[in-house]
């Protein structure tokens, strides 16, 4: 009903890439470039240190067994490293957690502990994580884990949620037009996933849509929602 929405949501702000040390949490090998890959390229072009954490081994990404199961996790790691090189990132950590599992309370606590340890060790100024309403269960679980880790680590910087599976109503748009070909090449590095779905085409379409408000529909943007704001 109209009364359920008395006013439209505010327009997202067109923002420059935030500066500082960057820590990105990705559920699977490929989400790190599929979501905020252009923004990572801008961080690196500006000289910001960037570390990417990939939470799962990604083995559920081959449901038809098109690839050798014995080497598939290694294949996913190699694709992730190759894709990240396209956006200038060479610091990546693979937790190797099982992919596509229902998490127990103990599993969540383990995730919170290792995420909090990453925060304490790397001391980022900016954290990227899946946004709250990502439709994939692994994405949703990693959001919850990282949010708890931010609290556990008493994180005082900026944390931004990014989109992959579900489009958000964003708070911020970053113009990634200048680096979109780097993002395209980074996604194309994930041949094992492109064997199943042309996600590069779909997500570049989403990035093109994100140019609608501020860039007059010309170029590409990446959308973010604010999960944590800096505090003193």
Say yes or no to pLDDT of 2 above 60.
no
pLDDT tens digits for 26-57?
A: 999 999 999 999 999 999 999 999 999 999 99
Question: Residue-wise over 141-161: b if at least 16 C-beta within 10 A, else e?
Answer: bbbbbbbbbbeebebebbbbb
CATH 3.40.50.720 is the classification of domain 17-228: no
Domain ranges of the chain: 17-228
pLDDT tens digits for 141-194?
A: 999 999 999 999 999 999 999 999 999 999 999 999 999 999 999 999 999 999
């Amino acid at each position: 009903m109209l009364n359920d929405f008395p006013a439209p949501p505010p327009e997202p702000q067109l923002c420059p890439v935030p500066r500082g040390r960057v820590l990105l949490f990705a559920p699977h090998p490929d989400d790190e470039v599929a979501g905020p890959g252009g923004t990572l390229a801008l961080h690196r072009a500006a000289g910001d240190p960037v570390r990417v954490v990939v939470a799962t081994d990604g083995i559920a990404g081959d449901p038809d067994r098109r690839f050798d199961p014995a080497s598939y996790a290694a294949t996913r790691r190699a694709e992730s490293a190759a894709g990240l090189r396209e956006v200038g990132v060479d610091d990546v950590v693979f937790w190797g957690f099982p992919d596509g599992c229902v998490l127990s309370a103990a599993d969540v606590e383990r995730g919170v502990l290792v995420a909090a340890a990453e925060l304490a060790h790397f001391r980022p100024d900016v954290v990227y994580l899946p946004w709250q309403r990502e439709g994939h269960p692994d994405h949703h679980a990693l959001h919850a884990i990282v949010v708890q880790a931010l609290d556990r680590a008493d994180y005082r910087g900026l944390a931004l949620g990014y989109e992959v599976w579900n489009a958000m109503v964003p708070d911020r748009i970053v113009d990634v037009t200048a680096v979109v070909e780097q993002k395209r090449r980074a996604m194309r590095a994930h041949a094992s996933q492109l064997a199943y779905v042309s996600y590069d085409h779909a997500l570049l379409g989403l990035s093109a849509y994100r140019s609608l408000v501020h860039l007059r529909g010309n170029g590409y943007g990446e959308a973010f929602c604010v999960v944590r704001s800096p505090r003193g």
